[in-house]
Amino acid sequence: MKKIFIPIFLLISVLQSNAEDGYQLWLRYQPVQNKTRLLSYQTNIRQVVCYGNTPTLVKAREELMKGLDGMLGINTKFSKAETNISGTLIIGTTATAPGLIKLSDAELATAGAEGFLILSKQLNGKKTTIITANSDIGVLYGVFHFLRLLQTEQSIEQLKIVSAPRIKLRLLNHWDNLNRTVERGYAGFSIWNWHTLPGYIDQRYIDYARANASIGINGTVLTNVNANATFLTKPYLEKVKALADVFRPFGIKVYLTARFSAPIEIGRLKTADPLNAEVQQWWKNKIDEIYSLIPDFGGFTVKANSEGQPGPQDYNRTHADGANMLADAIAPHKGIIMWRAFVYSHEVPDDRHKQAYNDFVLLDGTFRNNVMVQVKNGAIDFMPREPFHPLFGAMPKTPLLMEFQVTQEYLGQATQLAYLAPLFKECLDSDTYGNGKGTTVAKVIDGSADNHALNGMAGVSNIGSDINWTGHPFAQANWYALGRLSWDYNLSAEKIADEWLRMSFTNDAVFVKDARKMMLSSREILVDYMNPLGLHHIMATGHHYGPGPWVSNLSRPEWNPTYYHKADSMGIGFNRTPTGSNALSQYKPDAAKAWADASTIDEKYLLWFHHVAWNQPMKSGRTLWDELCYKYNSGVDSVRWMQQTWSKQKDKIDAQRFEQISMLLKIQEQEAVWWRNACLLYFQTFSKMLIPANYEKPDRSLEYYRGLSFPNAPGN
Amino acid sequence: MKKIFIPIFLLISVLQSNAEDGYQLWLRYQPVQNKTRLLSYQTNIRQVVCYGNTPTLVKAREELMKGLDGMLGINTKFSKAETNISGTLIIGTTATAPGLIKLSDAELATAGAEGFLILSKQLNGKKTTIITANSDIGVLYGVFHFLRLLQTEQSIEQLKIVSAPRIKLRLLNHWDNLNRTVERGYAGFSIWNWHTLPGYIDQRYIDYARANASIGINGTVLTNVNANATFLTKPYLEKVKALADVFRPFGIKVYLTARFSAPIEIGRLKTADPLNAEVQQWWKNKIDEIYSLIPDFGGFTVKANSEGQPGPQDYNRTHADGANMLADAIAPHKGIIMWRAFVYSHEVPDDRHKQAYNDFVLLDGTFRNNVMVQVKNGAIDFMPREPFHPLFGAMPKTPLLMEFQVTQEYLGQATQLAYLAPLFKECLDSDTYGNGKGTTVAKVIDGSADNHALNGMAGVSNIGSDINWTGHPFAQANWYALGRLSWDYNLSAEKIADEWLRMSFTNDAVFVKDARKMMLSSREILVDYMNPLGLHHIMATGHHYGPGPWVSNLSRPEWNPTYYHKADSMGIGFNRTPTGSNALSQYKPDAAKAWADASTIDEKYLLWFHHVAWNQPMKSGRTLWDELCYKYNSGVDSVRWMQQTWSKQKDKIDAQRFEQISMLLKIQEQEAVWWRNACLLYFQTFSKMLIPANYEKPDRSLEYYRGLSFPNAPGN
DSSP state of A426: H
Q: Yes or no: say if B45 and B11 are a contact pair by the CB < 8 Å rule.
A: no
CA of A663, closest CA in chain B: separation in Å? 6
Q: Cβ–Cβ of B14/A70 closer than 8 Å?
A: yes
Predicted pLDDT at B559 = 87
Alpha-carbon distance of B87 to B41, in angstroms, equals 9
- What is the three-class DSSP state of A420? coil
Burial of A125 (C-beta count, 10 Å sphere; 0-12/13-18/19+) = exposed
Q: What interhelical angle do B509-530 and B624-647 show, nearest 10? A: 150
- Other C-beta atoms closer than 10 Å to the C-beta of A569 total 9
> Which chain A residues touch B10 with a CB distance below 8 Å?
31, 69-73
- Cα of A654 to nearest chain B Cα, Å: 5
The answer on pLDDT for A16 being more than 50 is: no
- pLDDT tens, residue by residue, A455-484: 999 999 999 999 999 999 999 999 999 999
**How confident is the model over B149-170, as pLDDT tens digits?**
999 999 999 999 999 999 999 9
Chain B CA closest to residue A708: B235
pLDDT in tens, A247-296: 999 999 999 999 999 999 999 999 999 999 999 999 999 999 999 999 99
Q: For residue A4, what pLDDT is reported?
A: 39
Contact by Cβ (8 Å): B493, B481: yes
Hey, are the CB atoms on A24 and B18 less than 8 Å from each other?
Answer: yes
Sheet with strand B160-163: strands edge to edge: B77-79, B47-50, B88-93, B126-133, B116-123, B160-163
**Predicted confidence (pLDDT) at residue B173 exceeds the cutoff of 60:** yes
Strand spans (E) along A359-518 = 371-376, 400-405, 456-460
Residues of chain A in contact with residue B12, where contact means CB-CB under 8 angstroms, are 4, 6, 11
Q: Which residue from A211, A191, A224, A290 is spatially nearest to A252, judged by alpha carbons? A: A211
pLDDT tens digits, residue range B10-32? 344 444 444 699 999 999 999 99
- Write the DSSP string, B22-48: STTTT---PPP--HHHHHHHHHH-SEE
Q: Which of A69, A157, A278, A307 is an active site residue?
A: A307
Q: How far apart are CA B604 and CA A695, in angstroms?
A: 76
Q: What is the pLDDT of residues A658-691, one digit of tens each?
A: 999 999 999 999 999 999 999 999 999 999 999 9
- Whether residue B196 and residue A667 make contact (CB cut-off 8 A), yes or no, is yes
pLDDT for position B18: 47
A114 in active site: no
Residue A14: predicted pLDDT:
41
Closest C-alpha to A279, from A289, A266, A292, A296: A266
Question: What percent of chain A is modeled with pLDDT above 90?
Answer: 89
Of A10, A71, A199, the CB nearest to B31: A10
Chain A, nearest residue to B73 by Cα: A7
Q: Are A405 and A460 contacting, i.e. CB atoms less than 8 angstroms apart?
A: yes
Q: Per-residue pLDDT averaged across B499-528, rounded?
A: 98
Judged by CB atoms closer than 8 Å, whether chains meet at A21 and B23 is answered as yes
Please provide the average confidence, as pLDDT, over all residues in chain B. 94
Instruction: For residue A72, give the chain B residue with the closest CA.
Output: B10
As a whole number of angstroms, the distance between CA A501 and CA A517 comes to 11
Contact assignment for A203 to B21 by CB distance below 8 Å: yes
The yes-or-no verdict on residue A17 having pLDDT over 80 is no
Tell me: pLDDT of B274 over 70: yes
Confirm if A379 and A583 have CB atoms less than 8 A apart: yes
Around Cβ A326, how many Cβ atoms within 10 Å?
A: 27
**pLDDT band, residue A346 (cuts 50/70/90):** low
Q: Distances from the Cα of B5 to the Cαs of A33, A67, A71, B388, B527, in angstroms? A: 7, 17, 11, 59, 54
Q: Please choose, from the candidates A362, A429, A350, A422, the residue with its C-alpha nearest in 3D space to the C-alpha of residue A391.
A: A362
* DSSP structural state of residue A176: B
For residues B461 and B184, give the distance between their C-alpha atoms in angstroms, rounded to a whole number. Answer: 9
Decide if B9 and A75 are in contact by the 8 Å CB cutoff. yes
Is it the case that residue A509 has pLDDT exceeding 70? yes
**Which candidate in B409, B466, B524, B669 is catalytic?**
B409
Q: Please check whether residue A146 is in contact with residue A131, taking contact to mean a CB–CB distance below 8 angstroms.
A: yes
Collect all residues of chain B within an 8 Å Cβ-Cβ radius of residue A466: 465
Which tens digit of pLDDT belongs to each residue from A108-163? Answer: 888 999 999 999 998 888 999 999 999 999 999 999 999 999 999 999 999 999 99
Size of interface A-B (CB pairs under 8 A): 181
DSSP class of residue B71 equals H
Mean pLDDT to the nearest integer, B461-483: 98
Cβ atoms < 10 Å from Cβ of B536: 23
Q: Which residues of A touch B266 (CB under 8 A)?
A: none
pTM of the model: 0.96
Nearest to B132 by CA among B99, B94, B102, B100: B94
Active site residue B62: no
Quickly state the pLDDT bin for A77 (edges 50, 70, 90): confident
pLDDT band at B228 (very low <50, low <70, confident <90, very high): confident
Give the integer Cα–Cα distance in Å for B505 and B660: 13
Q: What is the DSSP letter of B82?
A: -
Q: Could you tell me the pLDDT band of residue B98, with boundaries at 50, 70 and 90?
A: low
Q: Out of B17, B663, B712, name the one closest to residue A195 (CB).
A: B712
pLDDT in tens, A428-460: 999 999 999 999 999 999 999 999 999 999 999
Write the single-letter amino acid at A385.
Answer: R
Q: Determine the residue of chain B that is closest to A4 in CA distance.
A: B33
Orientation angle between helical segments B55-72 and B203-214, nearest 10 degrees: 80
Residues B502, B28 contacting (CB under 8 angstroms): no
Q: Indicate the residue of B23, B31, B506 with minimum beta-carbon distance to A7.
A: B31
Residue A611: which pLDDT band, with cuts at 50, 70 and 90?
very high
Chain B's closest residue to A196, CA to CA, is B415
The pLDDT of A631-643, averaged and rounded, is 98
Q: Which residues contact B616 (CB under 8 A, 6 or more apart)?
A: B571, B598, B623, B624
pLDDT of residue A348: 72
To the nearest whole Å, the CA of B589 is away from the closest chain A CA by: 46
Q: Where are the alpha helices (DSSP H) in A561-654?
A: 561-565, 589-596, 606-609, 624-647
CB atoms within 10 A of CB A705: 21
In the three-class reduction of DSSP (H, G, I as helix; E, B as strand; rest coil), residue B451 is classed as coil
Tell me the average pLDDT across B394-409. 98
